Structure 1
Amino acid sequence: MGLHEKFPAYGGRGPGDLRLGLALGSVATLFMILRVYVRLRVNKFGTTALILSLVAWLLTTITQTFGVISILHGLGNHIEVLVETGALGNYLLYTWITVFFFNMAIPTGKIAVAAFLIEMNAQGNLKIRRSLIAVAVLNIVLNIPQIVLAWFQCTPPNALWDPLRQSQCDHRMSVHYTYFAGAVAALSDFYLAIIPITMLAPLKIDRKLKWGLSFLMGCGIFAGAAAIVRTWAASFILSDDPSYGVGILFRWGEVEEWVVLISMSIPPVWPLFRPFTRRFIKSHGQSRSIPAYKGYNQYTSSRGDLTSGAAGPVITTTISISSTKGASASAEPIRAGSSAGSFSRYDEEEAEIPLTVLSRPSNPEGWVEVSRYKNHPQ
């Protein structure tokens, strides 16, 4: 017996929404498993962000589960079909439960992204850190009214899922607030996608690697685009055929939820995919002799700032994305072609000292490491 025979209200946009949601959910779940594996077996970076990501994944999974049940009872199909099959009551009940968990999953995902970027930027710009905290707080504050409003659109509240008392409901306030909260959500996605690019831009690393990481970390732009469409589709709640129109809202809502989880999980699992990218990323720095310089201290600071505009000794760099467990500043020098996955070649005659970038001073297990010659002053 097929789904259409068992659930007569199933149809319209519903089957497409169901397949898309399950496909994206499977990819996101795989990435979450890989994130947990990397955290347990590879490095200890990003624990807080991982916990928040798991919470967001759980809420999104619950949302998707109730969304599938709603689809089976008519979400995405025409309202007259629901009335004829007697599925309108179940459609209303499960759809509003889906909306409830959706309104919790969306801000949680953005908070998880902000937490990851805050941990990544721990040694970086204080203004960026404050702005990320502001984005997280803003999404929490603005989504609380949206969660509450969904349950007070009708008088009494249980009329929300009663087909015979829909005349006692007024969805206009909730929909209008969705326009506002959705706009903020879209802007948050765009901001969270652009900020990593500004963090990576100053690093003196292979250009292909820099742009590749920037693209991967900027995939949240697609979530922002989905948020715009989802916000626009909220108007279908007020239409004459809401069950069919809400199928558009649900489709782009699940795209937004899952894309946020997928895009935030790509950078943390980079150590697992890095060996497959070496053939595409080649060193720009070749072995060469280092010219004699006098007064090295005028070129490098005591903190080892490699982004200074002052002219100085030739320094080649390497990048590794937390691929060794328990990495520290006293680790063995990383050589080109070693198991640590260096992307640049050093002078074979010079020992190196790894310098961690984008990590806490108290926790050297950073996300990006660069190395410099040992005989250069710190």
Structure 2
Amino acid sequence: MSLHDQFPAYGGRGPSDLRLGIALGAIATIFMIMRVYVRLRMNKFGTTALMLSLLAWFFTAITQVFGILSVLHGLGNHIETIEKVGELHNFLLFTWITVFFFNLAIPTGKVAVSAFLIEMNGPSNPKIRRSLIVVAVLNIVLNIPQLLMVWFQCSPVDSLWNPLKQADCDHRKSVYYTYFVGAIAALSDFYLAIVPIHMLIPLRIDRKLKWGLSFLMGCGIFAGVAAIVRTWAAKYILSADSSWGVGVLFRWGEVEEWIVLITMSIPPVWPIFRPFTNRFITSAYPSQPQYAYKNNNPYGSQQLYGSTAVASPLSPSFPPPLVTTTISISSMKGGETSTIVPSEFSPRNSNERTPHNIITDNKNKPWVELQEVNFKRSP
């Protein structure tokens, strides 16, 4: 038995909306599982952001579940079809519950992104830190009235899902306020997509890795585009064929929700994929100076630096000292730096394995771990 046989109001835009939401939800869920794995088994960075991300995922998953129920009972189909099969009550009930949890999921996701970027930035740039706090607070405060308006559009409240009492409802205030909040949400998405790129560009890391991460983290711009479209689609709530038009709102709303969760999970799960990218990533360390050793007198040796011979007090059989290099990497100008120091002096034939970490918090916990670097010395 098909879904159309079980749910006669199912159809129109609904099936494609349902498939898209499930696909994006599955991808986001896989990323969240990987984030938990990284946090438990690989590093201790980003606990607060992870907890907020899990909360955002929870609200988004509930939104998706009720969205599926709404689709099965007519969301995305024409209102005449829903009325004809007697599903208008279920359509209204599940749709407004979906809207309620959607208004919880959207700001929570943006707060989670802001928290992660604050942890990633650390104390290095207080202006960015303050701006991210402002974004988080705005999205929380401005969505509180939106949550309340869902349940106070009708008097009494149960008129909201009663087909015979729709005349007791006035959706105009809610729709107009949605335009305002949706504009703030879109601007927030654009800003949260640009900030990590701004942090990555100054870093002295492999260029392919830098632009690859910038592109992936910048995909949050697509969430901003989705926010614009779903805000525009809010007008269909006031249309005569609201169920058909709200299908557009629902589609772009679920795209916005899941894309935010997916893009914000890319940096935290990078340690899992790092071993598979070593062949494509070159080290950002400066090349190690090459040394040649020449014995021209019986009392010692000469060490050649380029074309200049310098007398060395070491005996010919004693290996030359290992020259180490200290590299400081800062995410922002004038900010605190993360210092990478190769291991102490070691035997000439030993292999050094130095973790190449960028962007650390104030406790030196790595955000992105790059490839291990082998320093080689010529004989």
Question: Where does residue 286 of structure 1 map in the other structure?
Answer: 287
Task: Please name the residue that 2:317 is paired with.
Answer: none
Report if the CA contact (8 A) 1:56-1:108 is conserved: yes
Aligned residues of 2:59 and 2:105 also touching (Cα < 8 A):
yes
Partner of 2:323: none
- d(CA) in 2 for partners of 1:245, 1:52: 32
Per the alignment, residue 359 of structure 1 pairs with: 360
Instruction: Quote the offset at 1:221 in angstroms.
Output: 0.5
Taking structure 1 as reference, are residues 37 and 331 closer, same or farther at Cα in structure 2, changes over 3 Å only? Answer: farther
Structure 1 residue 275 displacement after superposition: 1.6
Indicate whether 1:81 and 2:81 are aligned: yes
1:62-211 equivalence runs, <5 A: 62-211=62-211
Length-normalised TM-score, structure 1 = 0.82
Pick closer, same or farther for the CA change 1:287–1:332 going to 2, 3 Å: closer
Shift of 1:42: 0.5
1:324-335 aligned within 5 A: none
Contact 2:271 2:368 in 1 (8 A): no
The code of the aligned residue for 1:127 comes to K
Query: Is the CA contact 1:49–1:116 (under 8 Å) kept in the aligned structure 2?
Result: yes
In structure 2, relative to structure 1, the CA distance for the partners of 1:76 and 1:41 (3 Å cut) is same
Question: 1:245 aligns to what?
Answer: 245
AA matched with 2:258: W
Going from structure 1 to structure 2, the CA distance change for 1:369 and 1:270 (only over 3 Å counts) comes to closer
Match of 1:322 in 2: none
Q: With structure 2 as the length reference, what TM-score do the two structures score?
A: 0.81
* CA displacement at 1:28 relative to structure 2: 0.4
How many residue pairs get aligned? The number is 334
Equivalent-residue separation in structure 1 for 2:146 and 2:276 (angstroms): 44
Residues 123 and 359, structure 1, Cα contact 8 Å, conserved in 2: no
Distance 1:272 1:95, change over 3 A: same
Q: Which residue of 1 aligns with 2:301?
A: none
TM-superposition CA deviations, 1:140-180 (whole Å, max 9, x none): 00000111011111111110100001011111100000000
**Residues 268, 368 of structure 2: 8 Å contact kept:** no
User: Is this contact kept in 2: 1:123–1:357, CA < 8 A?
Assistant: no
Counterpart CA distance in 1 for 2:327 and 2:279 is 33
Superposed CA RMSD in Å reads 3.0
Residue in 2 that maps onto 1:276: 276
User: Any conservation in 2 of the 1:11–1:77 contact (CA below 8 Å)?
Assistant: yes
How far, CA to CA, are the matches of 1:141 and 1:67 in structure 2? 25
SS of 2:77's partner is coil
Supply the distance in 2 between the matched residues of 1:273 and 1:131 (Cα, whole angstroms). Answer: 31
Change (3 A) 1:128 1:243: same
Offset at residue 358 of structure 1 (A): 2.7
Question: Quick one: distance in 1 between partners of 2:88 and 2:332?
Answer: 65
* Alpha-carbon distance in 1 for matches of 2:357, 2:275: 20
Structure 1 window deviating more from structure 2 (10-19 vs 363-372): it is 363-372
- Distance across 2 between alignment mates of 1:135 and 1:83: 42
Displacement of 1:216 in angstroms is: 1.3
SS of aligned partner of 1:11: coil
Aligned partners of 1:200, 1:279: CA distance in 2, in Å? 21
Aligned-residue offset at 1:2: 0.8
Q: Quick check: 13-22 or 204-213, which moved more?
A: 204-213
Structure 1 residues 348 and 357 mapped into 2: Cα distance closer, same or farther (>3 Å)? farther
Residue 3 (structure 1) aligns with? 3
| Structure 1 residues 307 and 367: CA distance shift in structure 2, 3 A | closer
Query: 2 CA distance for matches of 1:64 and 1:304?
Result: 45
Cα 1:68–1:350 change in 2 (3 A) is closer
1:295 aligned partner: none
Percent of aligned pairs with the same amino acid: 66
Partners of 2:342 and 2:44 lie apart in 1 by 16
Query: 1:358 aligns to what SS in structure 2?
Result: strand
The one-letter code of the counterpart of 1:181 is V
Which letter maps to 1:225? V
Cα distance between partner residues in 1 of 2:181 and 2:115? 20
CA 1:79–1:199: 2 relative to 1, 3 Å: same
Once the two structures are TM-superposed, the CA of residue 289 in structure 1 deviates from its matched residue by 4.4
CA contact (8 A) 1:64 1:254 kept: yes
Deviations 1:181-213 (A, max 9, x none): 000000000000000011111111111111111
Report the Cα distance in structure 1 between the residues aligned to 2:214 and 2:208, rounded to whole angstroms: 10
After superposition, give the CA deviation of every residue in 1:253-296 in whole Å (9 maximum; x if it has no partner).
0000000000011111011111222222234643434989xxxx
What is the distance in 1 between the residues matched to 2:49 and 2:242? 37
Say which SS state the counterpart of residue 137 (structure 1) adopts: helix
Conservation of the 8 A alpha-carbon contact between 1:287 and 1:348: no
Between 1:177-186 and 1:207-216, the stretch displaced more is: 207-216
Deviation, 1:360, is 2.5
CA contact under 8 A between 1:204 and 1:307: conserved in structure 2?
no
2:59 matched to which residue of 1?
59
Opposite residue 286 of structure 1, the aligned amino acid is S
Change beyond 3 A, Cα 1:246–1:332: farther
Q: What amino acid maps onto 1:87 in structure 2? A: E
- CA 1:308–1:259 in 2, change beyond 3 Å: closer, same or farther? closer
CA, structure 1 residues 276+354, in 2 after alignment: closer, same or farther (shift >3 Å)?
closer
Measure how far apart 1:106 and its partner are: 0.3
Name which of structure 1's ranges 63-72 and 269-278 shifts more when overlaid on structure 2. 269-278
Q: Could you say which residue in structure 2 is the equivalent of 1:339? A: none
